């Protein structure tokens, strides 16, 4: 790989790695600025509600938009590099998920039902991106091991959502399943970045040129 391609790859990997950290940092800053917020009783989107504090809402929503945009740009770049039709389809689903994340930041709780729609869209799409990618990883011995987290991680969030909606959880809000679900997506994204950085993806899957 020549130096220009390597530099571009490093920039894209940086977007994929730093992008999610922006939203996590904004959440970490917004919570202590919102003494009313509790992990067991609220949704993370409550932090983005302008009626609960304009400055905090700007901080929270901006973090989601920046993270979603960064991950979207990384995903589009990934789409231009992969040779696998199945993996490409999975990344298209992940790109859609990133668009939903951007829209969550744009259409806060104050926007009404559209906020619920885009939130469900975000949490419902990226598990399928992970499973589609896992199916592709299973085809190659180099990536077979990496299919395991792609298969397993979504089930952690599915379990948390299940006990939340069946009133089996010790919490009444959705902040905990929201953050855990988001973290599974971030871990999976970091897994993809690691596979690219360490040249694990097979040549018939990944185009370095």
pLDDT tens per residue, the chain (209 residues)? 678 888 899 999 999 999 999 999 999 999 999 999 999 999 999 999 999 999 999 999 999 999 999 999 999 999 999 999 999 999 999 999 999 999 999 999 999 999 999 999 999 998 999 999 999 999 989 899 999 999 999 999 899 999 999 999 999 999 999 999 999 999 999 999 999 999 999 888 888 77
Asked if residue 16 lies in contact with residue 189, where contact means CB atoms within 8 angstroms, the answer is yes
Q: Tell me, yes or no, whether 202 lies in a domain.
A: no
Q: Tell me, yes or no, whether 30 lies in a domain.
A: yes
Q: Tell me, yes or no, whether 49 lies in a domain.
A: yes
E-only strand ranges, the chain:
none
pTM for this predicted structure = 0.95
DSSP letter assigned to residue 42: -
Tokens linked to 96: 């859609």
Q: Tell me, yes or no, whether 143 lies in a domain.
A: yes
Residue 187: burial class (beta carbons within 10 Å; 0-12, 13-18, 19+)? middle
Distance CA 200, CA 46 (A): 40
Q: Tell me, yes or no, whether 13 lies in a domain.
A: yes
Quote the number of domains for the chain: 1
Asked if residue 101 lies in contact with residue 115, where contact means CB atoms within 8 angstroms, the answer is no
State the residue range of the domain holding 184.
3-197
Q: Tell me, yes or no, whether 208 lies in a domain.
A: no
Q: Tell me, yes or no, whether 149 lies in a domain.
A: yes
Q: Tell me, yes or no, whether 206 lies in a domain.
A: no
């Amino acid at each position: 790989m020549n130096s220009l391609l390597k530099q571009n790859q490093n920039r894209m990997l940086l977007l994929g790695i730093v992008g999610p950290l922006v939203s996590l940092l904004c959440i970490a800053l917004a919570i202590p600025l919102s003494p009313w917020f509790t992990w067991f009783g609220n949704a993370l989107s409550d932090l983005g509600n302008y009626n609960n504090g304009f400055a905090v809402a700007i901080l929270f929503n901006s973090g989601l938009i920046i993270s979603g945009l960064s991950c979207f740009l990384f995903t589009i770049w990934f789409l231009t590099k992969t040779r696998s039709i199945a993996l490409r389809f999975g990344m298209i689903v992940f790109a859609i998920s990133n668009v939903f994340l951007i829209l969550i930041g744009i259409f806060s709780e104050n926007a009404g039902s559209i906020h619920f729609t885009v939130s469900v869209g975000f949490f419902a799409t990226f598990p399928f991106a992970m499973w589609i990618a896992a199916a592709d990883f299973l085809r190659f011995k180099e990536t077979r091991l990496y299919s395991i987290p792609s298969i397993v991680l979504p089930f952690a969030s599915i379990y948390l959502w299940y006990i939340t909606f069946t009133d089996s959880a010790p919490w009444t809000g959705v902040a905990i399943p929201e953050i855990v679900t988001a973290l599974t997506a971030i871990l999976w994204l970091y897994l993809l970045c690691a596979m690219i950085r360490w040249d694990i993806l097979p040549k018939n899957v990944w185009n370095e040129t």
